[in-house]
């Protein structure tokens, strides 16, 4: 019995240590990431404390980069870490512009920095993005809403028959399934003002029904 | 004393009216601003149908709003409906999105008038 107790104690201690180290590491990464973010002045272009209170087109035009106060609700962790190491334009046009090409000069982070900044950004969540609502995987109703009922690729580049087609004013959907969480897409479609109050994209809430907004969100996550 | 009261009242009223007009103007968006913010993405900043979304792979070309002859074939209600409910509502391409939940009815009506200026034509 004594031996049994000793084994259980050893296992419990080992488990506690492992969990403790895990929590410490994730917290350390996040805290370091926050420090890196501040030292590189990323907050000069990205809004980090939400919600966004923009009211006019001019308010929006004063912003230099996309909001990140909900980054942990929006992005997929692996994609974000990879992108920070090797940033490529997501939107072909410069932020907020419909005239100037994106020069693709976003600063690049080292492997360690990208890991820490990702850990930090993934802690930033919006209460308006409910988790676990949108499933992953093919969704034919979503495809119909995306391509036939609405012309989403009129603004968002997509891959069709191996070729990138579509408009250029919206962010690219070519690898949106690697980049975006389905729950974010649905939350944005359902209540855009709570996340991005001023935008060039039309509001689809009240045009697409709730089921179709979920279907579209799920369909977009298949773009990989 | 009575006169001072009257002057103060007049000044205060004028101030309130000025502030109210100011606030109203700050939030009201005119048709040209809406056009340049939303429509120009496909139809171009000057309405020639040459916005950045008018890529060669699109299934349809955005309409040239400065084409007097073509635009004059439309009725004002056609134009209003297509802005509000999108291309599908008027048997046109679904590539034209619906803006009925984005702009108010009044803004859409003002946009119809702005389009009439752009095409230099009168809608039926």
Contact assignment for B37 to A57 by CB distance below 8 Å: yes
pLDDT digits (tens, 9 = 90+) for A20-63: 655 555 556 899 999 999 999 999 999 999 999 999 999 999 99
> Minimal Cα distance from A192: which residue of B?
B102
Question: Does any CB of chain B come closer than 8 Å to the CB of residue A223?
Answer: no
Structurally, how many domains does chain B consist of? 1
Within a domain: B101? yes
Contact assignment for B101 to A149 by CB distance below 8 Å: no
Within a domain: B9? no
Question: Does any CB of chain B come closer than 8 Å to the CB of residue A202?
Answer: yes
Q: Which domains are assigned to chain A?
A: 1-125 (1.10.760), 130-224 (1.10.760.10)
> What mean pLDDT value characterizes chain B?
88
Within a domain: B36? yes
Give me A208's structure tokens: 């697409």
Contact assignment for A200 to B41 by CB distance below 8 Å: yes
pLDDT digits (tens, 9 = 90+) for A62-115: 999 999 999 999 999 999 999 999 999 999 999 999 999 999 999 999 999 999
Within a domain: B11? no
Chain B neighbors of A208, CB-CB under 8 A? none
B97–chain A nearest CA distance, Å:
7
Q: In the predicted model, is pLDDT for residue B18 greater than 80?
A: no
Residue A179: count of CB within 10 angstroms of its CB: 24
How confident is the model at residue B88, as a pLDDT?
86
Q: pTM for this one?
A: 0.85
- Residue reference for tokens 């007049």: B10
**pLDDT, mean of residues B4-28:** 63
Q: In the predicted model, is pLDDT for residue B93 greater than 60?
A: yes
Question: Does any CB of chain B come closer than 8 Å to the CB of residue A43?
Answer: no
Contact assignment for A204 to B101 by CB distance below 8 Å: yes
DSSP A172: P
DSSP letters of B62-119?
PP-TT-HHHHTTS-HHHHHHHHHH-GGGGTS-TTS---TTTS-HHHHHHHHHHHHHHH
Within a domain: B80? yes
Complex ipTM > 0.90 = no
Contact assignment for B95 to A151 by CB distance below 8 Å: yes
- Rounded Cα gap, residues A13 and B53, in angstroms: 60
Within a domain: B83? yes
> Minimal Cα distance from A144: which residue of B?
B94
**pLDDT, mean of residues A174-188:** 98
Within a domain: B102? yes
**pLDDT, mean of residues A160-181:** 96
Chain B neighbors of A200, CB-CB under 8 A? 37-38, 41
Decide: residue B44, CB within 10 A, 0-12 exposed, 13-18 middle, 19+ buried: buried
With residues binned 3-state (H G I as helix, E B as strand, rest as coil), the percentages for chain B, rounded to 5, are 60, 0, 40
How confident is the model at residue A2, as a pLDDT?
78
Within a domain: B35? yes
CATH number of the domain bearing residue B105: 1.10.760
**Peptide bond between residue A124 and the one before it cis (omega within 30 degrees of 0):** no
- Could you tell me the residue range of the domain that residue B86 belongs to? 30-119
**pLDDT, mean of residues A168-176:** 97
Chain B neighbors of A149, CB-CB under 8 A? 88, 94
Chain B neighbors of A99, CB-CB under 8 A? 45, 52
How confident is the model at residue A11, as a pLDDT?
80
């Amino acid at each position: 019995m004594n031996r049994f107790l000793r084994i259980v104690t050893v296992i419990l201690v080992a488990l506690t240590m492992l969990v403790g180290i895990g929590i410490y590491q994730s917290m350390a990464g996040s805290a370091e990431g926050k420090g890196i973010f501040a030292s590189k002045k990323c907050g000069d272009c990205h809004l980090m404390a939400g919600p966004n209170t923009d009211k006019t087109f001019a308010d929006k035009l004063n912003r230099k980069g996309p909001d990140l106060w909900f980054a942990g609700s929006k992005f997929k962790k692996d994609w974000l870490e990879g992108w920070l190491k090797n940033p490529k334009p997501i939107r072909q046009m410069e932020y907020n512009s419909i005239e100037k090409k994106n020069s693709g000069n976003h600063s690049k982070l080292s492997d360690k920095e990208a890991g820490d900044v990702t850990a930090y950004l993934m802690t930033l969540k919006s209460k308006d993005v409910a988790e676990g609502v949108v499933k992953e995987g093919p969704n034919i109703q979503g495809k119909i809403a995306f391509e036939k009922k609405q012309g989403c690729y009129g603004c968002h580049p997509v891959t069709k028959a191996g070729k990138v087609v579509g408009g250029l004013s919206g962010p690219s959907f070519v690898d949106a399934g690697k980049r975006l969480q389905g729950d974010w897409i649905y939350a944005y479609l359902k209540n855009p003002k709570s996340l991005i109050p001023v935008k060039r994209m039309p509001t689809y809430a009240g045009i697409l029904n709730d089921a179709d907004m979920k279907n579209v969100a799920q369909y977009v996550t298949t773009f990989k | 004393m009575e006169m001072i009261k009257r002057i103060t009242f007049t000044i205060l009223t004028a101030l309130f009216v000025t502030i109210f007009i100011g606030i109203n103007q700050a939030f009201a968006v005119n048709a040209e601003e809406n056009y340049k913010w939303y429509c120009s993405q496909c139809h171009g900043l000057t309405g020639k149908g040459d916005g950045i979304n008018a890529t060669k792979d699109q299934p349809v070309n955005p309409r040239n709003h400065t084409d007097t002859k073509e635009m004059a074939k439309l009725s004002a209600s056609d134009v209003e409906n297509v802005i509000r409910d999108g291309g599908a509502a008027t048997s046109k391409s679904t590539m034209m999105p619906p803006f009925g939940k984005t702009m108010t009815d009044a803004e859409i009506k003002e946009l119809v008038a702005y389009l009439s200026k752009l095409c230099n034509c009168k809608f039926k």
